[in-house]
Each structure stands twice: as C-alpha cells, then as structure tokens.
Amino acid sequence: MTSKPTIDPSQLIANADRLTSITGTWPSFHDAEVQSLSLDREGPTLFVRIFCFELDRSETDSSGCFKRSAHCLVTFRFSRVEDLRADGFNHQNVLSSILFNEAAGGLQVTLEGIFGLTATFRCSEASVEEVIRYQDLRKSGKPKQVKIPPV
C-alpha cells in the first residue's frame, strides 16, 4: 500500500468524537501508555487499549511538570489487520505518537514507541470503541479490569 501524508486522524477514525468530546481535540498520544493489545483471528481484528491525557505546555504543576488533564483509557478497534509488526511490549509501553496515514484500501498505523512497544500495521478501518474517563476508573477501583469489547 502506498501511504499518503498524515492527516487529521479524527477524520479517518469512526467514533472519534467519543474521544474528542473528553479531550477537546485529537490527542497527540505523546507519553501515552499502551495498556494491552488483543488480537482476534476473525477479521483479523486488533484491539489496542491506551491510557492517554492532554498536556498543557502553558502551565506547570508544583513539581515543575507540564499540567495534564483529560486522563482517559481509550480502546481502539482495527479491522482486517495486515502486516502487523510489533516489538518491545513490556511492563510500560510509552508512546511518542500514533500516526494514521491513508493507504490504498485503508490505513497505515504506526505506534511510535519511546519505551517498550513500537508497532506498525495496515487495516481497512479504525474506530474508537470505548473511552473511560480516568476518574470513573478510579471510582470503580478497577483501573486495569476494563473488558475488551466483543467482536
């Protein structure tokens, strides 16, 4: 597949408004963490669960770090996945970014890792399946027990 330049991912991904309604804009995913990957041979389909937040570079907190807001756990669903290459998955999978490029017949997706997971694949479709605000996870007492939606 021939890739075209990255464009606004919210225009390429079904249900993107589930995420942007919380974050305000499409997140950069810088310093976001991949919590889990789940592959299903039907499709084949890939689910990726990522903890992300918005970073406000105009303000710092008491420790001098940029303020973070809109913490949430987002689950992506990628359909008809091909040419999946993943490396380095471990206990902490910090991303630099997620790139979505249009490609013949779908999308080329790259999870650019800082530490841990780096992955690339093609898919016919991408969607935001679920977004859970972090404060809702904390209230439930089970931040790592979110179920992957059924295929």
Q: Residue 61 domain-assigned?
A: no
Flag whether 148 is in a domain. no
Confidence (pLDDT) at 141:
53
Of the pLDDT bands very low, low, confident and very high (cuts 50, 70, 90), residue 130 is: very high
Peptide bond into 5 cis (omega under 30): no
CB 82: neighbour CB atoms within 10 A? 12
Residue 43 lies in a domain: yes
Residue 130 maps to a domain: yes
- Report d(CA 123, CA 119) in Å as an integer: 13
Please give the DSSP secondary-structure letter assigned to residue 23: H
Asked if the structure places residue 74 within a domain, the reply is: yes
Of residues 128 and 145, the one with the higher pLDDT is 128
* Terminal Cα distance for the chain, rounded: 26
- Tokens 């999978």 map to which residue? 93
SS3 22: helix
Residues 87-99: pLDDT tens digits? 999 999 999 999 9
Q: What is the domain count for the chain?
A: 1
pLDDT at 45 over 60: yes
Q: 13 lies in which domain range?
A: 9-56+67-139
pTM for this model (two decimals): 0.81
